[in-house]
Chains A and B, each alone.
Chain A
Amino acid sequence: MEHQDTMKDVAWAKINADVLRSLEKPRRIFWIVLAVCALLVLSGVVAEIYQYREGMGVALMNRPHYWQLYISNFVFWIGMSHSGTLLSAILLLTKADWRKPIYRFAEAMTLFSILTAAIYPIIHLGRVWNLYWILPYPDARTIWPNFRSPLLWDAAAITAYATSSALFLYIGMIPDLAICRDNAKGWRKKLYTALSMGWMGRAREWMAFRKTYILMACFLVPLAVSVHSIVASDFAMSIMPDWHITSFPLYFVAGALYSGCAAIITLFVMLRHIFKFEAYMTTEILDKTAKLTFAIAMAWNYLNLSEYASIWYSNDMYEKEVLLAKFFGPYAVIVWTMLLCATVAPFAMVFKKVRHSMWSMFILSLVLQLGMWLERFQIVSPPLASNHEPWTWAVVWPGAVQLIITLASFGWFTMLFLIFCKIFPSVSMYEVKEMVFHRRKASSRARLEDLSAIKEEVARAEEGLQ
């Protein structure tokens, strides 16, 4: 396989045609996957209705396991949503132009995983119908929510993050929507016309667009970091052993970027294969994403190990008990599998062969995500199982209702993503063109430099002859 980027040879019209083709009539496999996802979502809805009518007990949570899969899934999906911001905003600000062909679907992933995550705190509540009490709305009885509670911060953070990442995705899509508008017919034409807001591609529009986009990126980066720090404070602010850990915010953000990057790789390989985006999603980009994932994985590992070390050396008896229970207790299988998947497996990315093969990266990314999902489970459950009060120690595994709803959330995410891919361009056309333009310029400059080098050589040879 050729490692050099071949994108400089792609014609403008071909980019448009390739991307627009991905919006056209779906293949049969698309409908099958969509139907499976819809079925999963439906079963989740049924499970939720059952739980709503009977009570939370059907999920087989108990005392002391008041929180379980719902919360760990919530953390997982919120974590997933950090990848889009990373690829779009952070790499935009650091001017890494290889992000251009892949950031659009990463952003969509951000939005959809946050929409998935937002479901969990809702179905997790004992009295869902009073959900709005968390919001600080003007109440006739002047009752306010408790602003000291991390759950309230969660509600604020999620709404802020969902709104701004939706806006960021939309703003970044406007020039592409205009391209779609110019090529669409029927209801699509109407939709794109409305959404592209009369974009004509004038210089003034581009200037305003660039400015807004950069500003949004600057706003989104600290927001994303704060969102997962706040999710971490759900645990860190409590007094439970092994939850009350100062490094949790940082650890959570690193873990979020880690699982997010792994998810990007998964979708990268899938989209490339399904939509035949080989010309844009090149091996070189996969290689760079893998390197980034590896770096983040190492940061996460460092934080994870330092957490163990600080618990061990603190010699706090409660925390030590939980730590030992993690490694040798009833949840040991989870913890060791997590360490295998998230700590050992990323070292495969050291090898160039692995980084450059679509298949190996696809499987590896799934393994990493499994590891990170288990990591969220082992954050929530084992500390509850061995808490301060030994009389209440109990081991509980999630029941069928929780598992069905978990599966349904994966279906829900995939369903939203599939629908998105067919309605909106999942590869940014204008940014790819920009990238191709820069590559072309760079290569022609290189050719000129080559020429002058030859000239110099000839001159030197002539001097030698004389």
Chain B
Amino acid sequence: MALKRMLENWSRLRQRDYYKDAPYLWGLTIDLNKCIGCGACVAACYAENNVPVVGKEHCGRGHSMHWMRIERYWDEPDGKADIGQQDASDFPERGAHYIPMMCQQCNHAPCEPVCPVAATYHSPDGLNTQVYNRCIGSRYCGNNCPYKVRYFNFFNFWKDLPHPLEMQLNPDLTVRDKGIMEKCTFCVQRIRDAKDQANDEGHPEHVEDGSMQTACQQSCPTDAIVFGNLRDPKSQVSRLWEQHHVVLNRHEQDKSDDIRGYRVLEELNVEPCVMYLDRVRDVEV
């Protein structure tokens, strides 16, 4: 019986665009022109998703858990990007690039096929879902993620919470134990909420655009982050994607000069659901 079900599931999953008729495909747009690198999104993500604050020592060892991070890249004086530069005494004139980086919810996610227990899978909403209870911590997904946005609970970090602080944990989602992988979920608990609400209001397959915000989007002071349903042509995020000629499942994207839209590591064909808008700068400075 189980075998029959398995074979059925497989033959269905092998079809291309199996989920294409699903009402939702959640996507994100981040405008790097607007991003000031303040880190409010990071703090909001920590608060919303019960992400453990690991402290300076663990952070130094590379055990930090920030589901959302601000990557900072410096420019070299001659205009070439230099990623290795860490020396703060050597600030180039034109300052830093900031890229907020979180799980890109790839449509062809490299993390999914490698999990031995299928703890990570693709939901019909286009989310790359991590099932904490199922995870056994083989960490293969973390290795195979080109963005390195999967975070492993190297310790029982929740045990370090001093007494009153456990009261501020978000009751809408779990606190994770040691030995499992976690990552950005596009605030799936909020998505659930919005869907339930839409159900109650009598339009089950349609979450109003803007009725639900991710924590990072909500806290961004410059509105650099836009979240929404890519299947809804009227949503803000869909319009942005269309405006910047970024199309899902197309090998060759439009790369004309005046187009700012791109997805990080597009050439790997992992089809991420997060579009970035390139920063425009005066090159003559």
By a beta-carbon cutoff of 8 Å, the part of chain A in contact with chain B is 54-57, 60-67, 121, 124-127, 130-131, 133-134, 138-139, 142-146, 148-152, 155, 234, 237-240, 384, 387-394, 396
Contacts and interface: CB of A to CB of B under 8 A. Distances in A.
B153 A55 contact: yes
22 contacts: A57-B154, A62-B62, A64-B148, A66-B142, A66-B143, A67-B143, A125-B137, A125-B138, A125-B179, A126-B135, A126-B138, A127-B136, A133-B116, A134-B136, A143-B134, A145-B117, A146-B115, A146-B117, A149-B140, A388-B147, A393-B83, A396-B62
Interface residues of B, number: 51
Given A146-B116, A150-B114, A389-B148, 7 more contacts: A56-B178, A63-B150, A126-B138, A238-B144, A388-B265, A390-B83, A390-B84
B118 interface: yes
B137 A126 contact: yes
A237 B117 contact: no
Contact of A54 (B69, B84, B155): B155
B88 interface: no
B136 A125 contact: yes
Contacts of B178: 54-56, 126
Contact of B146 (A133, A239, A394): A239
B281 interface: no
Contact of B151 (A63, A139, A144, A393): A63
B154 A127 contact: no
Contacts, number: 156
Nearest to B142: A66
Interface in B117-142: 117-118, 134-140, 142
B148 A63 contact: yes
A133 B118 CA distance: 10
Given A67-B143, A133-B117, A149-B114, A394 B62 contact: yes
Interface of A is mostly: loop
A56 B110 CA distance: 23
A55 B138 CA distance: 13
Contacts of B270: 239
B5 interface: yes
A64 B110 CA distance: 15
A70 to B, nearest CB: 10
B63 interface: yes
B5 A142 contact: yes
Contacts of A150: 114, 140
Interface string B190-222: 000000000000000000000000000000000
Given A63-B151, A155-B116, A55 B143 contact: no
Interface string B150-180: 1111111000000000000000000000111
Given A62-B63, A148-B113, A127 B58 contact: no
B135 to A, nearest CB: 7
Closest 4 CB pairs of A and B: A126-B137, A62-B62, A57-B154, A126-B179
B2 interface: yes
Contacts of A138: 2
A62 B62 CA distance: 5
A56 B62 CA distance: 13
Contacts of B117: 130, 133-134, 145-146
Interface string B86-117: 00000000000001010000000010011111
A387 B145 CA distance: 10
Contacts of B140: 66-67, 149-151, 234, 238
Output the residue of A56, A57, A60 with the most chain B CB within 10 A: A57
B56 interface: no
A274 B42 CA distance: 64
Nearest to B69: A391
B268 A388 contact: yes
B6 interface: yes
A151 B113 CA distance: 10
Contacts of B63: 57, 62-63
Contacts of A152: 116
Contacts of B152: 56, 63, 66, 126
Contacts of B83: 390-391, 393
A391 B144 contact: no
B146 to A, nearest CB: 4
